[in-house]
A and B are shown apart, each in its own frame.
Chain A
């Protein structure tokens, strides 16, 4: 475990550092993908959506964490804006970023599905870097185990949750890049990424030793994962209908979008 990287007089938190590196790399990849898949016009039009989504992820993640530690956060208001990398909830970050990006796209009349697909291809890179950061810093640690694949952490053999998160990010990247080569409708890549998140939250969370809990020991992230999975199944027919609409209506809608953008 290397929670601190000492570079001369600087003491940098390895978890936070790799998270920032991951976000920067994913942002660069997102822009390249958007340019290649959708052209310079959409890249330019997407403008500040990435920064807004990132800000919303930070805000949502902290609010989420604060709500689940309400007694402490209500008494000490400075905790809401304290620089603590570990005090963010993934569920809140995901919801916050998605909600703000979706609203921004509606407001600017941007094609949210195309933007979301490019984001889905880039996000696993950020997640892979963040997982390595978690391994170095010891965050998102697993519950104790006697199984052979356990890793030694904090003096105990634990489930290698950080490595599982890394594996999940790499697997989802492989699947998404494979899917991107197929002729799939817009929005499919993002839905596939969401499906991977849902499965990861449901399955890997079960092995974590630091989960946010509800009364009865139920893990919050597992509930979010299950809800996400059910939501994806529920909305599948609507997507199918939306993808095979009346050709005339589609042409009219496309014309509206183009005229709004111009």
Chain B
């Protein structure tokens, strides 16, 4: 191959490859939820634009945590298990989101599906994760939220309304986009600092 041909090949591949990479980049998807806070529809159901069904579960320290007590904050209810690879893959993102947005009123409730307390505690310690984990020992909350796939994530706004939900793994851009939007929206009953 002559130097000229080699240079042309390099330029062609670099150009086509770069265009392809830019064209297939991951775009922010914050627009996937409604821009305006909707009025909640009817009774509490695990569906978008419905009030989030309330629950009370124990955390790893044995403290009771109720979802309804977090009204005024933006809450991510993430249903997961230690054996689920995509759940594990998104945990660092959730940890990062908690660290980044926690002071602005964002709270994570990671609901572990039917695993032993010691196993979950070891997992959290081993992986350096610090967000609150609630133990759904009998799977009642998983059933309440009609969880058919792990992980399942429910983004709840300051009024306690599920604004968007994902059955399956999240991407970083989706998570950041949704949290940013929900935090930006005001709320009459904001109690977050």
Contact = CB atoms under 8 A, between A and B. Distances in A.
Contact of B84 (A3, A79, A237): A3
B191 interface: no
Given A69-B92, A86-B89, A138-B85, A219 B169 contact: no
A229 B128 contact: no
Nearest to B12: A233
B128 A78 contact: yes
Interface in A128-153: 137-139, 141, 144, 153
Interface in B137-180: 148-152, 167-169, 171-173
Contacts of A213: 26, 172-173
Interface stretch (A32-40, A95-103, A177-185, A203-211): A203-211
A247 interface: no
Contacts of B96: 71-72
B24 interface: yes
Contacts of B152: 155
A261 B150 CA distance: 56
A141 B20 CA distance: 20
B56 interface: no
A82 B88 CA distance: 12
Contacts of A153: 168
A178 to B, nearest CB: 22
B168 A218 contact: no
Contact of A78 (B21, B24, B126): B126
Nearest to B25: A217
B21 A226 contact: yes
B25 A219 contact: yes
B9 interface: yes
Instruction: Assign chain B's interface to a size class.
Output: 35 or more
A210 B126 contact: no
Interface residues of A, number: 47
Nearest to A212: B172
A217 B17 contact: no
A236 B6 contact: yes
B14 interface: yes
B28 interface: yes
Contacts of A4: 83
Given A154-B149, A217-B26, A79 B1 contact: no
Contacts of B92: 69, 72
Contacts of B172: 213
A155 B167 contact: yes
12 contacts: A3-B84, A15-B85, A78-B128, A155-B167, A213-B172, A217-B173, A218-B25, A225-B17, A230-B13, A230-B14, A233-B10, A237-B1
Interface of B: 1, 3, 6, 9-10, 13-14, 17-18, 20-22, 24-28, 83-86, 88-89, 92, 95-96, 99, 126-128, 148-152, 167-169, 171-173
Given A72-B128, A141-B168, 16 more contacts: A72-B95, A78-B127, A82-B127, A86-B89, A141-B86, A154-B167, A155-B168, A156-B149, A206-B20, A213-B172, A213-B173, A217-B25, A218-B22, A219-B26, A226-B13, A233-B9
